[in-house]
Amino acid sequence: MNPASANIEEAILSAILAGRINPGTRLGEQKLADLFGVSRTRVREAMMRLETRGVVQVSARRGWFVVEPSAEEAREAFQTRRVIETGLLQTVREVPPAVLESLREHVAIERAAIETGDVSSRACLLGDFHIHLADALGNRLLTEIIRDLTARTTLISMLYQPTEKAEESSHDHEDIVAAMEAGDLARAARLMDEHIGKVEAGLDLTAKPDPLAGLRELLSPSTFAGNAPSVPHHHTPAPSFEKKD
């Protein structure tokens, strides 16, 4: 609708869905304004829209930050996704062949990306499966809701997921599609429930979102040799938020 401001919003959201923007990343109004060649007004507009969609947050006079969901918020996001996605599968009566075809194709692309080892696109694809599903079985409204929720859970995974299990997720997707193909939507719903449960269980929600993650990442590829302690042993003055610049 507003050409540029919609682009800013969409650009940031899809970067999050693709896992290219880390939770906690600071998004300065002026920098984005320069980047997109508009004034701060439009950027603020996009930011406020993203804030109501739950993907960024403003800290008064400090800046906009990509949300870092708390453990509680993480649980809420997963519960919500479980409710909606199982509800969708159980509400639908039958699945059109074209939809099945499209989903099978999507899963095939997932597997290809995993075997190729294309890490950057596979996270995006795994989330995209759920968005595709909502789009195919539901409607635009539902798709938008799922999209925002997927952005949230993507950020949560970045914060709390110790190890990725892309193969397992893709296999789950395959099973869900198979159940749909067999016309057993109740089973598809149950599999979806388990799938989301597995992803959630794979998180380490006891570990607080690590404010040092950014620093550690910068230091870990060993500029210094022979030190890979899990926690830096020197006293650090808690930089709290800022990670990228």
Partner DNA sequence: GCTCACAAACTTGTATACAAGCTGGAAAGC
Partner DNA sequence: GCTTTCCAGCTTGTATACAAGTTTGTGAGC
Instruction: State the residues that interact with a second copy by CB under 8 A.
Output: 1, 45, 48-49, 51-54, 58, 73, 75-77, 79-80, 82-88, 90-91, 138-142, 145, 193
DSSP character for 111? Answer: H
25/169 with CB nearer DNA? 25
Which ranges in the chain belong to alpha helices (H)? 3-17, 29-36, 40-52, 71-91, 97-116, 119-137, 140-160, 166-181, 185-201, 213-219
41/220 with CB nearer DNA? 41
Among 18, 58, 100, 142, binds DNA (CB under 7 A): 58
Q: How far is the CB of 224 from DNA (least distance, A)?
A: 21
Q: Using CB under 7 A, count the residues that bind DNA.
A: 24
Are residues 113 and 121 in contact, defined by beta-carbon separation less than 8 angstroms? yes
Give the separation between CA 209 and CA 213, rounded to whole angstroms. 8
Question: Taking CB under 7 A as the rule, does residue 90 contact DNA?
Answer: no
Among 2, 79, 90, 227, binds DNA (CB under 7 A): 2
Query: Which DSSP string corresponds to 212-227?
Result: THHHHHHHTTTSSSS-
Strands 63-66 and 56-59: antiparallel
Q: Which stretch binds DNA (CB under 7 A): 57-65, 72-80, 113-121, 127-135?
A: 57-65
